[in-house]
């Protein structure tokens, strides 16, 4: 079973959307498990304080190393990667998600306030992971995003094995446009090729559209795709 442990000061927000749809069904089926650790239970004072003012001054509060250190130490130690959700972290990619999903699970630490005392990051060898170049109020939504991206790749969770093989990023390209019935909607038809029944034409159209969208919207992905294509490999 793939295991996710989440350390947070807001345990009540979990499982949230992870309890619904594909992820929720997979959790109920025992494909993965979620345990949520309330960091506040590791505070030493009666107010259950988890934060203090930043050394050197400045706005906001910082999560205390001693409290967070105890919470991490109490979480079961195994070979799972310990990831701190952080806007300073390495951007989460589909390739990293695939690696995490292929492993035994993750231990996720959710920051709040201005972030986490740097010493606990170093002392507990936390790897910082970002879900994008913007700042959230806390790591909980980021943790949910990471878990959701992993869980849908676990064996048996998605309806058909092909779904993830053709998705955005699977080959370094964004996904081609999708359509469904009705054939004509507000004067807009489904592209003729998709209703032709000619599978090789459909595949060629989808590949061309995926390339066009990637070129137009994500020059970074497009450049990487071209590099791989020229070096003889479209995947990886
Ligand atoms: C308000 S943010 C702290 C931002 C920090 N002061 C900075 O400028 O880098 C509070 C917490 O939200 C989480 N967080 C915010 N943005 C994130 C992102 N893009 N990816 C992952 N976690 C994020 C982190 O856990 C962070 O410690």
pLDDT in tens, 90-101: 999 999 999 999
pLDDT band at 236 (very low <50, low <70, confident <90, very high): very low
Average pLDDT, integer, range 157-171? 78
Beta strands 2-8; 32-38: pairing state: parallel
Which one of 87, 88, 108, 121 would you pick to mutate in the ligand 1 pocket, going by the greatest count of ligand atoms within 8 A of its CB? 87
Which atom of ligand 1 lies at the shortest distance from residue 130's CA? 20
How crowded is residue 3: how many other Cβ atoms within 10 Å of its Cβ?
16
- 51 neighbors 120 (Cβ within 8 angstroms): no
Ligand 1 binding pocket includes 91 (Cβ within 6 Å): no
To 10 degrees, what angle do helices 21-28 and 140-151 make?
70
- pLDDT exceeding 90 applies to what percent of the chain? 89
Cα distances (Å, whole numbers) of residue 70 to 44, 67, 129, 236: 10, 5, 21, 39
Largest Cα span, the chain = 70
Ligand 1 binding pocket includes 6 (Cβ within 6 Å): no
Give the integer Cα–Cα distance in Å for 72 and 131: 22
Does residue 201 carry a pLDDT above 80? yes
Give the integer Cα–Cα distance in Å for 168 and 170: 6
Which atom of ligand 1 lies at the shortest distance from residue 115's CA? 27
């Amino acid at each position: 079973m793939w295991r996710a442990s989440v350390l947070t000061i807001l345990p009540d927000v979990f499982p949230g959307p992870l309890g619904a749809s594909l992820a929720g069904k997979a959790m109920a089926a025992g494909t993965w498990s979620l345990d949520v650790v309330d960091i506040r239970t590791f505070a030493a004072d009666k107010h259950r304080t988890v934060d203090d003012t930043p050394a050197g001054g400045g706005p906001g509060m910082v999560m205390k190393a001693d409290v967070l250190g105890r919470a991490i130490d109490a979480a079961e130690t195994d070979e799972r990667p310990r990831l701190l959700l952080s806007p300073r972290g390495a951007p989460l990619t589909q390739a990293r998600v695939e690696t995490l999903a292929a492993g035994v699970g993750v231990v996720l630490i959710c920051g709040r306030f201005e972030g986490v005392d740097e010493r606990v990051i170093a002392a507990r060898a936390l790897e910082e992971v970002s879900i994008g170049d913007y700042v959230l109020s806390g790591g909980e939504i980021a943790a949910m995003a990471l878990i959701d991206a992993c869980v849908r790749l676990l064996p048996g969770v998605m309806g058909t094995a092909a779904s993830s093989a053709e998705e955005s990023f699977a080959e370094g390209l964004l996904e081609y446009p999708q359509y469904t019935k009705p054939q004509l909607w507000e004067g807009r038809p489904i592209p003729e090729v998709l209703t032709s029944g000619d599978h090789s034409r459909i595949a060629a159209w989808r590949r061309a559209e995926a390339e066009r969208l990637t070129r137009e919207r994500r020059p970074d992905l497009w450049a990487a795709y071209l590099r791989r294509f020229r070096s003889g490999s479209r995947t990886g």
